[in-house]
Every structure is written in structure tokens, then in C-alpha cells.
């Protein structure tokens, strides 16, 4: 929720200096054992949050929870090109993961495999849209209509 608040405080702006957003962002970093950004600028760190900072923190925070796809889909609604660039810029190869200590691992070593060459994705708009199931279209044919939607009047 803290990162959601920070993103909401940012809104459509390029950056935010919202004190509560900075506090929440730093709370996430502190819990993860990472130094906070410096809202007072006494140490020369950033004094504001940008979309990129919040996005990267979400990627790290939710790395093992399969949340990245949902963030990329949200991004695709308002900046599809950036979503494609993020996906297409990733090395999607295979990796071998080994614990650094056994039997109580606290860190891991990731090694790229040499036998898998197909490493790049080619994301496009087709990756973000699911077709409407035929059974649904047969029951409601207007679902596949190409007509413009009719505005709904609230009384």
C-alpha cells in the first residue's frame, strides 16, 4: 500500500516531493535493509520521487510474487512504448540458481546458461490484449462490434 500511495501522490506529474509519499517509500526501503533516499538533501541524495523510482522499487519489492506483469499492463494503458521497451530490453534467458550457503541459504548465485540462445522477447500490443471468447460473442454479438461506444447519460 505504501508504494501505491507514493504512486497516487505522484499522479501525472514528473516528480513529487509529497512528505508522506517520501516517508512511505523510505519505510519500504528501510524494511528491506536498503538506505533511504534523502528527503532533506543533507547527504546529496534525491529529494523527490519519480515514476521510474517507484516502478523500480515495485519491481524489487514484488520480484518473487509475480506482480511485474500487472504493473507492465497498467503501464501499457498510458505508455505502451515504454512497456515494450522494458520487456524487450530484458535478458529472458535461462539461469542456474545456487544457494551461497547450505543448509541455511541467505543469498543466491545466478549463472546464465550458455546453451540457450533465444534470450530476447518481442513484445507488442498483441501481448497485452486477450481475445473475447467465441462463446461470449455468440451470446452478445455487440461485444465484437466495431461501432463506437454510446455515451451513457447519468440522471
Please name every residue paired with 73 in a beta bridge, in sequence order, or none if there are none: none
Confidence at 1, pLDDT banded by 50, 70, 90: very high
**Is-above-0.85 flag for pTM?**
no
pLDDT band at 137 (very low <50, low <70, confident <90, very high): confident
DSSP-based three-state secondary structure for 42: coil
Per-residue pLDDT tens digits for 78-123: 899 999 999 999 887 788 888 888 877 788 888 888 877 777 888 9
Question: Count of alpha carbons within 13 Å of 49, Cβ hemisphere only?
Answer: 29
Q: CA torsion, points 9, 10, 16, 20, in degrees to nearest 10?
A: 20
Amino acid at each position: 500500500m505504501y508504494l501505491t500511495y507514493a504512486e497516487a501522490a505522484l499522479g501525472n506529474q514528473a516528480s513529487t516531493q509529497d512528505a508522506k509519499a517520501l516517508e512511505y517509500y523510505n519505510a519500504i526501503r528501510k524494511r528491506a535493509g536498503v538506505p533511504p533516499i534523502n528527503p532533506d538533501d543533507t547527504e546529496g541524495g534525491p529529494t523527490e520521487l519519480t515514476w521510474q523510482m517507484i516502478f523500480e522499487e515495485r519491481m524489487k519489492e514484488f520480484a518473487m510474487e509475480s506482480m511485474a506483469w500487472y504493473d507492465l499492463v497498467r503501464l501499457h494503458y498510458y505508455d505502451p512504448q515504454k512497456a515494450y521497451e522494458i520487456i524487450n530490453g530484458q535478458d529472458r534467458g535461462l539461469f542456474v540458481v545456487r544457494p551461497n550457503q547450505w543448509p541455511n541459504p541467505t543469498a543466491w548465485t545466478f549463472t546464465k546458461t550458455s546453451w540457450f540462445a533465444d534470450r530476447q522477447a518481442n513484445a507488442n500490443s498483441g501481448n497485452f490484449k486477450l481475445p473475447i471468447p467465441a462463446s461470449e460473442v455468440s451470446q452478445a454479438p455487440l461485444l465484437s462490434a466495431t461501432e463506437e461506444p454510446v455515451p451513457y447519460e447519468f440522471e
